[in-house]
Amino acid sequence: MENKPEMKDFLQLETRIVEGLKSIYDPEIPVNIYDLGLIYDVSVADDRSVTITMTLTAPNCPIADDILLSVKEGIEAIEGVKSVDINLVFEPPWSKAMMSEEALLELGFM
């Protein structure tokens, strides 16, 4: 029973992280990076350090540094997050198939 409050807090932290990611937008596309499908994985360790595995719409994205900085700063600002590491990957490559239904609707793909 002792772990239940901790597990609840842990799940609430994960929820706040996803909400934080949904508040970050690619400046060139009017959809948040989470629904755009750029976030491949969010991992929260027991010590509350966060690792985000993500990609970009294109490897040569001209605003890559801005997006990565927004993710790092935005997630670090969440109460309870100890630190943030971003693992930028390009495999598998991003495609519009990774977008949420909401994003597809927003961009007129459905």
Check which CATH number belongs to the domain holding 23 and give it: 3.30.300.130
The count of structural domains within the chain is 1
Q: Give tens-digit pLDDT for 9-54.
A: 888 999 999 999 999 998 888 899 999 999 999 999 999 999 999 9
Q: Is residue 10 part of a domain?
A: yes
Q: What DSSP state is assigned to residue 93?
A: P
Q: Is residue 90 part of a domain?
A: yes
Query: In terms of residue numbers, what domain contains 90?
Result: 3-97
Q: Is residue 54 part of a domain?
A: yes
Q: pLDDT category, 3, cuts 50, 70, 90?
A: very low
Q: Is residue 104 part of a domain?
A: no
What stretches of the chain adopt beta strand conformation (E)?
39-44, 49-54, 83-88
Q: Give tens-digit pLDDT for 77-99.
A: 999 999 999 999 999 999 999 99
Structure-model confidence comparison of residues 72 and 28, the more confident one? 72
